[in-house]
């Protein structure tokens, strides 16, 4: 089969696929090559695909049966093909794309990897495809929604096409709304208010998870978030969906709000979908800003992440080193309080030079508070110390006011 645009062969994980030759589609260096090509392909999302291979294998090991997989927005098919080849116990994969050229290229790549018996390529709309598979006994064990921008347009159909106890992965690349640059767009799409705080990447994940919980609850489905990540340009949530009104109720109970004081860095959570919010900052008396409703529950399940890390140690993934840095960070931070502090941001506001992150963490730990790094931001830490103590510690460790610096 030939294509009337420049292509090249790329290797990822254990597969090799044909993709558009990206440099042929950009005229200016600042142009975003993946979306200029006739079929979308982004080599930087390999980390996202690697982590998903690990999550899917970890899941398959817990259910201990052959599983079916759907990638409703598949472009060249690389992700679905990787699931079929790299994850043990995958019985069937359905990959789909609305772009006819993408579907043709995916078909070509499936044949190239000799997977025609296990991987079905469909050309059509993602919601139509998912609706077709929403009937009992047709539903999938795993659905990976990886669209342009927001996954909300596909969330409802994905939840309906997932079997009881199935695994759902969502990618959102619309970080501008989710991180509070376009708050109205976030409220419109995700039903929750974002905030441009230093921990906006955690809020992005919690807003995405909260939207899923609310959507699934309408179908009397409860959601357990097993893995979350926000790196590079995407927020990612991976969740197990279980049928039952009671399970849905208990997920909804973990919804709530995060209140943030832009004056003194104080932050607090308020559980419950319809709470009475006292917005006066208990630390300084200012009026606090509110993010939410959003997910306040766990963002990770320890056994699931440990299983992913053990698989990452065995599997020879290109991002192995990066993943083996990411997963232990996540394991460390998973029981720490919601929200984190970014040392640079606090120093900016207080006009201080920036002390080393390690010394801030050490000082807080020595003072009897638990402090830990976060994968969301390499310059940040979570702690149970009050904002006042965080501020005082940073002031003490900072050698001088910025204005004294040359
Ligand atoms: C970000 S790309 C997918 C990348 C792919 N999952 C990967 O890992 O390389 C999004 C894809 O969704 C497809 N798409 C957009 N709207 C769609 C729809 N309504 N139904 C099915 N596919 C759609 C686009 O053609 C594009 O190929
Ligand atoms: Zn305050």
In this prediction, residue 405 carries a pLDDT of: 47
pLDDT for residue 276 is more than 80: no
- Pairing type for strands 67-71 and 15-20 reads unpaired
In this prediction, residue 404 carries a pLDDT of: 47
Mutate to test the pocket of ligand 1, among 13, 98, 119, 149 (most ligand atoms within 8 A of CB): 98
Ligand 1 nearest atom to the CA of residue 40, by list position:
27
Cα gap 20→176, rounded to integer Å: 27
In this prediction, residue 406 carries a pLDDT of: 41
Residue nearest to atom 19 of ligand 1 (CA): 125
In this prediction, residue 214 carries a pLDDT of: 97
Q: Using 50, 70 and 90 to split pLDDT, how confident is the model at 272?
A: confident
pLDDT for residue 69 is more than 80: yes
Query: How do residues 213-269 score in pLDDT, each as one tens digit?
Result: 999 999 999 999 999 999 989 999 999 999 999 999 999 999 999 999 999 999 999
Percent of the chain with pLDDT over 70: 97
In this prediction, residue 26 carries a pLDDT of: 79
Residue nearest to atom 5 of ligand 1 (CA): 74
In this prediction, residue 34 carries a pLDDT of: 76
pLDDT for residue 332 is more than 90: yes
Query: How do residues 150-203 score in pLDDT, each as one tens digit?
Result: 999 999 999 999 999 999 999 999 999 999 999 999 999 999 999 999 999 999
Ligand 1 nearest atom to the CA of residue 72, by list position:
21
If DSSP states are collapsed to H, E and C, what string results for 45-89? HHHHHHHHHHHHHHHHHHHCCCEEEEECCCCCCHHHHHHHHHCCC
Ligand 1 nearest atom to the CA of residue 49, by list position:
8
Q: Using 50, 70 and 90 to split pLDDT, how confident is the model at 298?
A: very high
Average of per-residue pLDDT across 361-383: 98
The continuous run of DSSP H or E covering 361 comes out as helix 357-366
Question: How far apart are the CA of 146 and the centre of ligand 1, in A?
Answer: 7
């Amino acid at each position: 089969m030939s294509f009337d645009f420049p292509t090249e062969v790329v290797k990822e994980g254990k597969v090799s696929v044909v993709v558009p030759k990206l440099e042929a589609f950009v005229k200016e260096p600042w142009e975003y090559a993946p979306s200029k090509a006739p079929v979308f392909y982004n080599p930087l999302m390999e980390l996202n695909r690697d982590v998903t291979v690990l999550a899917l294998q970890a899941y398959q090991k817990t259910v201990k049966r052959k599983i079916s997989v759907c990638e409703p927005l598949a472009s060249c098919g690389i992700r679905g093909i990787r699931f079929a080849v790299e994850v043990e116990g995958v019985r069937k994969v359905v990959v789909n794309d609305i772009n006819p050229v993408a579907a043709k290229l995916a078909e070509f790549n499936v044949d190239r990897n000799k997977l025609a018996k296990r991987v079905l390529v469909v050309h059509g709309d993602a919601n139509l495809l998912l609706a077709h598979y929403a009937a009992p006994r047709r539903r999938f064990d795993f659905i990976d929604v990886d669209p342009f921008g927001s996954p909300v347009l596909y969330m409802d159909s994905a939840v309906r096409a997932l079997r009881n106890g199935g695994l759902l992965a969502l990618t959102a690349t619309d970080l501008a709304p989710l991180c509070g640059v376009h708050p109205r767009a976030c409220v419109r799409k995700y039903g929750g208010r974002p905030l441009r705080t230093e921990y906006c990447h955690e809020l992005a994940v919690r807003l995405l998870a909260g939207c899923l919980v609310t959507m699934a609850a309408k179908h009397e489905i409860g959601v357990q978030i097993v893995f979350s990540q926000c790196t590079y340009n995407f927020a990612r949530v991976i969740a197990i969906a279980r049928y039952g009104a009671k399970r849905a109720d208990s997920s909804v109970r973990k919804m709530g709000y995060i209140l943030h004081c832009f004056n003194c860095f104080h932050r607090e959570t308020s559980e419950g979908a319809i709470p009475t919010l006292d917005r006066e900052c208990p630390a300084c008396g200012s009026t606090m800003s509110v993010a939410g409703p959003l997910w306040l529950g766990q963002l990770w399940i320890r056994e699931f992440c440990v299983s992913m890390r053990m698989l990452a140690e065995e599997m020879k993934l290109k991002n192995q080193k990066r993943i083996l840095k990411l997963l232990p960070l996540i394991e460390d931070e998973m029981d720490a309080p919601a929200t984190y502090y970014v040392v640079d941001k606090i120093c900016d506001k207080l006009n201080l030079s920036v002390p080393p992150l390690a010394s801030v963490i050490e000082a807080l730990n020595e003072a009897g508070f638990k402090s830990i790094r976060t994968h969301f931001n390499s310059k940040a830490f979570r702690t149970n110390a009050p904002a006042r103590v965080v501020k005082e510690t940073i002031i003490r460790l900072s050698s001088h006011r910025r204005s004294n610096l040359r």
